[in-house]
């Protein structure tokens, strides 16, 4: 699939691609951590049937997008607005998966006149959420997000090595995840098509180096730069009940603080279940009332 580049007012390049129905409801899909614009998404035929024009892009430092040093989660909103402007879109919807969840919420909070509806799937909560933030989280994520809070140099070196290993052998990241993820996730990643999309996304994410991954983790563990109470659109918060990558307590906390949020914690599924629920979420985002 071909990609396009747009440049921010500061001169940074953002790389994005568009798939699905040309005249469909525009939906920004914000990828996970690490991830890229080519991550798992429904096939083009499914998007056409849903009436969705899906837009995905590499967050700064990933894939073909230039790094934005010391970025915050809130900075995502201006990047998404720049891509929307390039496409001539006045309004659109957003959905964020995993590390993309906070970024989708930033778009809703910072672009209230343009984002008409939002969804977050298996999202992290802010670093200062009144929950046991690491409770039930798999060890590698505890180490990664914990280091972001108290030992940034160790985090940077660790992710630099992981990104380099992933760049040389993208399947190595998936193999390491298999040793920790919950049973429902193991079933999802047995699908050869999903394996292929994940490996391709990891390869593209780390192609230019480790900084997209590093900056994502640092941004999610610092102040996000916006208030959840400023989100006035309808928001769906979805989480897998057996998720040990990002435990469901994060979703419950978010849903309690986003005005009018609709929470679903689905039994029998976990983190990668977000890929399976995505068509249903896209259908909700593309409801005809949104384009009236």
- Rounded to whole angstroms, the Cα distance separating 194 from 200 reads 10
State yes or no: pLDDT of 78 exceeds 90.
yes
- Rounded to whole angstroms, the Cα distance separating 266 from 288 reads 26
How many structural domains is the chain composed of? Answer: 1
pLDDT per residue over 93-134, tens digit each? 999 999 999 999 999 999 999 999 999 999 999 999 999 999
- Rounded to whole angstroms, the Cα distance separating 215 from 36 reads 14
Phi, psi of 245 (to 5 degrees): -80, -50
Q: Answer whether 124's CB lies under 8 Å from 102's CB.
A: yes
Q: What is the mean pLDDT of the chain?
A: 95
211 burial (CB, 10 Å; 0-12 / 13-18 / 19+) is buried
Q: Answer whether 57's CB lies under 8 Å from 14's CB.
A: yes
Q: Which domain holds residue 244?
A: 4-291
Residue 292: predicted pLDDT: 35
Neighbours of 175 (CB within 10 A): 10
pLDDT per residue over 157-196, tens digit each? 999 999 999 999 999 999 999 999 999 999 999 999 999 9
Indicate the helix (H) or strand (E) that contains 91: none
State yes or no: pLDDT of 291 exceeds 70.
no
CA atoms within 13 A on the CB side of 218: 20
Over residues 8-28, the mean pLDDT reads 96
Q: How far is CA 240 from CA 175, 236, 237, 271, in A?
A: 21, 13, 11, 6
* Residue 205 belongs to domain with CATH number: 3.40.50.1820
| Rounded CA Rg of the chain | 17
Residue 289: predicted pLDDT: 52
- Rounded to whole angstroms, the Cα distance separating 233 from 134 reads 29
pLDDT per residue over 144-163, tens digit each? 898 777 788 888 999 999 99
Specify the pTM: 0.95
183 burial (CB, 10 Å; 0-12 / 13-18 / 19+) is exposed
Dump the DSSP string for 198-263: HHHHHHHHHTT-SHHHHHHHHHHTS--SS-GGG--SEEEEEEETT-SSS-THHHHHHHHHSTT-EE
114: left (phi over 0), alpha (psi -120 to 50) or beta: alpha
Residue 290: predicted pLDDT: 41
Q: Indicate the pairing of strand 52-57 with strand 13-20.
A: antiparallel
- Picking from 8, 78, 79, 21, the residue whose alpha carbon sits closest to that of residue 47 is 21
Residues in the chain: 292
pLDDT per residue over 216-251, tens digit each? 999 999 999 999 999 999 999 999 999 999 999 999
Residue 257: predicted pLDDT: 97
């Amino acid at each position: 699939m071909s990609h396009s580049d747009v440049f921010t007012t500061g001169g940074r390049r953002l790389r994005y691609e568009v798939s699905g129905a040309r005249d469909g409801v525009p939906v920004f899909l914000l990828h996970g951590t690490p991830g890229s614009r080519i991550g798992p998404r429904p096939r083009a035929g499914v998007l056409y049937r849903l009436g969705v024009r899906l837009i995905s892009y590499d967050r700064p430092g990933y894939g073909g997008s230039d790094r934005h040093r010391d970025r915050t989660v809130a900075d995502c909103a201006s990047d998404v607005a720049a891509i929307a402007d390039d496409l001539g879109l006045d309004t659109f919807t957003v959905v964020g998966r995993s590390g993309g969840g906070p970024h989708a919420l930033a778009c809703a909070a910072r672009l209230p006149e343009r984002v008409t509806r939002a969804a977050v799937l298996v999202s992290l909560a802010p670093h200062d959420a009144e929950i046991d933030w690491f409770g039930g989280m798999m060890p590698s994520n505890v180490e990664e997000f914990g280091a972001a809070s108290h030992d940034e140099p160790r985090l940077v070196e660790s992710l630099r090595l992981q990104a380099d290993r992933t760049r040389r052998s993208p399947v190595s990241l998936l193999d390491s995840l298999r040793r920790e993820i919950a049973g429902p996730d193991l079933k999802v990643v047995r699908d050869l098509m999903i394996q292929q999309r994940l490996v391709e996304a990891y390869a593209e994410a780390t192609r230019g180096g480790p900084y997209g991954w590093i900056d994502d983790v640092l941004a999610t563990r610092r102040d996000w730069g916006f208030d959840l109470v400023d989100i006035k659109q309808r928001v769906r918060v979805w989480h897998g009940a057996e998720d040990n990558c990002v435990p469901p307590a994060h979703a419950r906390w978010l849903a309690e603080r986003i005005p009018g949020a609709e929470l679903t914690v689905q039994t029998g599924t976990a983190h990668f279940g977000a890929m399976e629920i995505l068509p249903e979420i896209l259908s909700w985002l593309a409801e005809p009332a949104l384009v009236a």
